[in-house]
Structure 1
């Protein structure tokens, strides 16, 4: 009763079923407490199998809101195959409006392959990688920059050592209709959901759909389009569910983010002022911004420069920074 994850769901039942994944975790307020992770199962016979998840980080709202809407709108009669929806995967983090779980400090997207006897985040990661992901052909995990980051709307896949499966992942990434897509090189032991999907035999697709710990008209629209486009590309649905039919977007421009030198990091406490915008093309040596020390007003601000060419992919939204904070990243164009 005190380890693992329990559920009473029939994953192979036709129709639409809502329930919970329950993770026992004794706390001060409730000794027999269970973390309740909402899940919706929608199945209509044989066909493609798709897992949609959001709330991997609790303060990334585009996916959470879009999947909550999809739970309400999508009917089993409208699909072919199976769609499993986890709108709030790391539910303690979602309810606390935090990146990581307040129960155990767990960052779900760094917890795979997890531990069935560990804390709630580890137990959930283990269940996802060993039991839920293997039931699906494709896993789509929706992210954004969260409270502290502004991120260029960008699709993402992790590099797969199998060239055919890697090509399929890139193909599906392009179907999302995002302006940019990038390939992350996180290695075979990657602790992310995309690494877990790969090890489970599924194709993993992800992306960054906004940032700032909020949702906007534009970021919600691009998230809805990506979900509809992926489901239609897989043959799960034959018409959009979340948004209107639209003209095909411009081809996704492929980027690569694979080296620490593509980022600029704070080395001490300070206040960062950017000199460039998201999406700008920059050169190595170009000014990225200034680092101020408001505790030493007699010291001039420090100019920070990019180490590599690329396109500005993300920047820190919080002006005040500590040593180790990532201030900005550039990604390298690899096509177009």
Structure 2
């Protein structure tokens, strides 16, 4: 099948292989230009098959750093099964420090199932969903809030597949050991990597590990630990690779259920938050203030939360435009049914 991407990586070969996914895309300075996306693959015998990705969005860096380190430190002799690593998945966006690709303005996490004859973002999405994801059992796609958002560090899954598929997905999400876990319900046809993984028959896992277009010791420790916890939980390794001591928190499950959980700007202005991600808030509590510097005679607008819950994400840039999401509140997930099915304590 022509996918619009070329690669010499053999998914059946034993050992360690490092190469590129190459996407032909003519540009003014180079008519035969190819986008080069690094891919590292290790295989030793039979066992779990993991696809680890970062850089789906180009301004989220915890996953890039951790997966490049993992690729350097992993030894084929220390694994049982297969690990494919894409540490800079949307390479044009990562190298430009942008959420979307500068080549086609594509948002990769809204591009699935993709188009093999389309722009680079569509071709990459098609290759992932139709070639790489079906060759793996588990897909981990690492995210953070990006340049414009602060995000509560959380693991993430979408409710996808049948009950057995969902139970296994929830088990593995809890194994990441994050203090919060977020369950999204985007539907089987969603254009996201998690929905693509489910359509490909794989378990899709994700997470938001930081934000602000930067990293901290805390966000890096959480990211490295989550990766190690997944490798250990699936049995592909016997010892942690990135962490001397892995972090294992009891995960509190959260979700978004309605548009009332978000506050959006409806005009240009400057946002002053009153709470921080992770804060527990009540309905009607002050979420922040919205200022209009062009109308100095007007008092700031008081913004209040529409529901009670936990602040999940918040805009970092004070200057805002109509349509910008200023803050989101997640509500606790009703876990009674899920706890019975996955054997949670």
Q: Is the shorter-chain TM-score for this pair beyond 0.5, marking a shared fold?
A: yes
Shift of 1:100: 0.5
Change in Cα spacing, 1:3 to 1:205, as seen in structure 2 (3 Å) is closer
* Aligned-residue offset at 1:287: 1.0
Residue correspondence of structure 1 range 264-303 to structure 2 within 5 A = 264-303=263-302
Match of 1:250 in 2: 249
Superposition RMSD in Å: 1.2
Q: Deviations over 1:290-313 (max 9, x none)?
A: 000011111100001111111000
Q: How does 1:37-186 map to 2 (within 5 A)?
A: 37-186=37-186
Equivalent position of 2:343 in the other structure: none
* Residue 33, structure 1, aligned to residue 20, structure 2: no
Q: Per-residue CA shift, 1:41-73, capped at 9, x if unaligned?
A: 110010000000000001100000000001100
Check conservation: 1:149, 1:316, Cα contact below 8 A.
yes
CA contact (8 A) 2:161 2:198 kept: no
Using the size of structure 2 for normalisation, the TM-score is: 0.95
Alpha-carbon separation, structure 1, partners of 2:146 and 2:255 = 21
Q: Is the 8 A contact 1:3 1:118 kept in 2?
A: no
Q: May I ask how many residue pairs the two structures share in their alignment?
A: 334
Q: Unpaired runs of 5+ in structure 1?
A: none
1:238 alignment partner in structure 2: 238
- TM-score normalised according to structure 1 size: 0.97
Question: Helix, strand or coil for the counterpart of 2:312?
Answer: strand
State the Cα distance separating 1:74 from its structure 2 match.
0.3
Kindly provide the CA deviation profile for residues 146-181 of structure 1, in whole angstroms up to 9, marking residues without a partner as x: 100000000000012411111111110111110100
Instruction: Check the 8 A contact 1:150/1:212 in 2, yes or no.
Output: yes
How far did residue 262 of structure 1 move? 1.1
Question: After TM superposition, which residue ranges in structure 1, 4 or more long, deviate above 4 angstroms?
Answer: none
CA offset at residue 259 of structure 1? Answer: 2.1
**Which runs of 5 or more residues in structure 2 are unaligned?**
336-345
String of CA shifts for 1:11-35, please: whole Å, max 9, x gaps: 1111110000111111111111111
**CA–CA distance in 1 between the matches of 2:248 and 2:243?**
14
The separation in 2 between residues aligned to 1:3 and 1:159, in whole angstroms, is 28
